[in-house]
């Protein structure tokens, strides 16, 4: 008999009235952290957001503020800001979470795995020795050891 998995944060997604809204598009006047949207950092060009459906604990997304689909369509300023803030995120994560490595990646297009295909974003995924276990291999399920709000609270002060 299999045991149920508890994921109460999924109910917000299931009940969301318009699932086609871009979660990466922030109000123009919003700068700095924004806990309700898991935004750790934002300025007029770029933002750092916690991934609500992470591959691993403290999985972050770095994205331009502007709704743009590809690296080629992003401005040079946006591309530079994305990579600089991804680098900054790894330094912060090293201090706070002490991962053993990272996966950094951009998925362009739906067939490439982009969950939000029309808003460019770079994933910063901390990796830990042994973080791939039987749950991932056999059940296609990831075990995240810490509540996302707890991780947010640990990280937000380092981004601002």
Residues noted as catalytic = 121
C-alpha 93/C-alpha 87 separation (Å) is 10
Per-residue DSSP letters for 124-154?
Answer: EEEE-TT-S-HHHHHHS-PPP-S-HHHHHHH
C-alpha 57/C-alpha 131 separation (Å) is 10
C-alpha 40/C-alpha 49 separation (Å) is 6
Cα–Cα nearest to 75, from 66, 88, 84: 66
């Amino acid at each position: 008999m299999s045991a149920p998995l508890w994921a109460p944060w999924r109910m917000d997604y299931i009940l969301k009235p318009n699932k086609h809204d871009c979660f990466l598009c922030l109000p123009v006047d919003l700068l700095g952290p924004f806990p309700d949207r898991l935004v750790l950092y934002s300025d007029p060009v770029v933002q750092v957001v916690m991934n609500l459906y992470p591959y691993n604990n403290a999985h972050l997304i770095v994205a331009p503020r502007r709704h743009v689909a590809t690296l080629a369509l992003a401005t040079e300023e946006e591309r530079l800001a994305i990579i600089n803030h991804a680098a900054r995120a790894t330094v912060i994560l090293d201090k706070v979470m002490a991962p053993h490595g990272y996966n950094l990646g951009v998925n362009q297009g739906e067939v490439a795995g982009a969950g939000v295909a029309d808003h460019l974003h770079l994933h910063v995924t901390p990796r830990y020795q042994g973080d791939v276990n039987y749950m991932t291999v056999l059940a296609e399920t990831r075990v995240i050891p810490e509540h996302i709000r707890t991780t947010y609270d640990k990280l937000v002060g380092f981004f601002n």
